[in-house]
Amino acid sequence: MGKAIDFLIHPLELKAAFQLKYIRNPLFYIDSTASPNEKECYKLLNLTSRSFAAVIMELHPELRNVIMVFYLILRALDTMEDDMSIDTKLKVELLRDFHEKLDLKEWSFNGNSPDEKDRAVLVKFDCILHEFHKLSKKYRDVIQDITKQMGNGMADYILDENFNLNGVETIADYDKYCHYVAGLVGDGLTRLIILAQFAPMSLYDLEKDKELPSYESMGLFLQKTNIIRDYAEDLHDGRSFWPQEIWSLYADKLTDFQQTGNEQKGLECINHLVYNALSHVDAVLNYLSSIHEQSTFQFCAIPQVMAIATLAKVFNNPTVLHKNVKIRKGTTCYLILKSRTLKGCVEIFEYYLRDIRKRLPVEDPNYLKINIEVARIDQLIEEMYPDNNLPPNVKPRETELYLKVKERTKFDKEVIPIQQDEDLRINVYLTFIFAITFSILIQFL
């Protein structure tokens, strides 16, 4: 009932939901002649992540199974790391050696707790291995390398007594933790996308020696957003990833924010964490401007626009201190449709950044810093699309970013007619539905 009311209150989201379900056509479809092992892998994908599954299944055939297998292998690794019922010594050994299991033709693990929700990916790991070995060696090498780095990183954190006792302490520790659980995913995905020739080599080669490459920021922006959102849920599970360097500015204990009278300090802490996450937005937009193949662009863009929408949702929101908050289903549908072009993604970011700035209390201790950060992102967007703000006959400054956006705009122009056709069809469809509904209601009045 709640979802139905949401849709009635937000008619544009209702329209987007209908359009996504009945009008929009995927760029690519799953091959109906898929092998039994491949079909089993896609079942596992749907079992472990419906949201990611939908985006992965619409990828270009060159990358679809590559990223599906990559996701399932990392999900298996994560499932092993999360399961507190596994003996610590055994778990560390399995995590450090997990990449070597990928050399085997057959291997599975049945030692998870029966209550572990994603245990199936380890129980049926043979199917994943079978599909892994069907991939080109160039893809397998990347997947194995990232699995090795992530497995060792997870094992290091399990053995880190200070982390287990005190959680994440400094902002540098926060970035390091997010690197192992999300930044490495961005690293691997970028290398896979480049190997498929869906983005230029420069997206990796010119970034890898930077202190914080753009592909790393793609992962960190998503992970930090989730960490802010999951405060109450993580505390309930006896863990937390908010960095002490930030939260200790506002409370003596991390749990204090849930106590009566501490809400204001809790909001200030949330806003400080949002400010930290916003530092990755410029790299995210820069990265997206480099992706050329359309299904890969959508695969990269959708999680990022969901993240900025979620970040705006948690900003200055006291509910975060007590329970998990989510964006509406209708909002999700709208964002998926709009983020098919780089221009659409930029407009989404602009909308939510304005929303954050509008709701930023003047008395917030980070009021000035947040305003400066949003202004910095606005300036970047102006560099991406300067034509709207230039006097007549004045040519834009052809920066590296501007030229990348110009190249990406060629692909956007191919998408715009498709969006226009969908808009026309959904308007006709909804007009017909409302006309029928209205005529039926008239008969009963």
Which positions are catalytic?
A: 177, 229, 239, 299
DSSP structure class, residue 8? H
Task: List the Cα angle 254/258/261 in 5-degree steps.
Answer: 110
Q: How far is CA 3 from the centre of its chain?
A: 23
Tell me the angle at which helices 184-195 and 214-229 cross, rounded to the nearest 10 degrees: 140
Enter the DSSP assignment of 287. H
287-304 exposure pattern, b = at least 16 Cβ within 10 A, e = fewer: bbbbbbbbbbbbbbbbbb
Residue pair 187/258 in contact (Cβ under 8 Å)? The answer is: no
**What span, in angstroms and rounded, lies between the C-alpha atoms of 277 and 224?**
6
Residues 214 and 207: beta-carbon distance below 8 Å? yes
Look up residue 331 and give its two tokens.
């909002």
3-state secondary structure 43-97: HHHHHHCHHHHHHHCCCCHHHHHHHHHHHHHHHHHHHHHHCCCCCHHHHHHHHHH
